[in-house]
Amino acid sequence: MASSNWFQPNAAPGRAGNAPATPVEGQSPPSGGHEAPSSPFGGGAFQFLILALPLLLIFVMTRSQNKKQKQIESSLKAGDRVVTQAGLIGKIVDINPNSPRVKLEIAPGVNVQILKSAIQGPDPGEVAAADAKVAETAKDKKS
């Protein structure tokens, strides 16, 4: 009776009176465990890529965010209506190019100092109103 195992069903080898198991005819014995199993993905280089790609992706994403923030900070000027990361909407009253802070008026007579890096960009409501005004003037010029 042939077995699907590598060895014939015998008693455990090494016991008194038992001979070591012999391979079934037509099958080669398994390796003795001395060889390292080959990796289907190429070994160490593939593992390095698995670790390096997420780090590279994080670096690229952070770099693009930093560029965008620097562009926003450089385009700020007094009188701009902006939105902060905290959700405050206000008008820039005082800005010093050498200082990391700006003075923002959030209500008439209420001025606060915030970091330039906390400004997300122009007020979307103000931008939409400015775009509508530009479209209206262009429409009036055509008529």
pLDDT, tens digit (0-9, with 9 covering 90-100), for 30-89:
555 555 556 566 667 778 888 889 999 999 999 998 999 899 888 888 988 999 999 999
Kindly report whether the global pTM for this prediction surpasses the value 0.85.
Answer: no
Alpha carbons within 13 angstroms on the beta-carbon side of residue 98 total 0
User: In which band, very low, low, confident or very high, does the pLDDT at 106 lie, cut at 50, 70 and 90?
Assistant: very high
Per-residue burial over 27-44, b if 16 or more Cβ lie within 10 Å, else e, is eeeeeeeeeeeeeeeeee
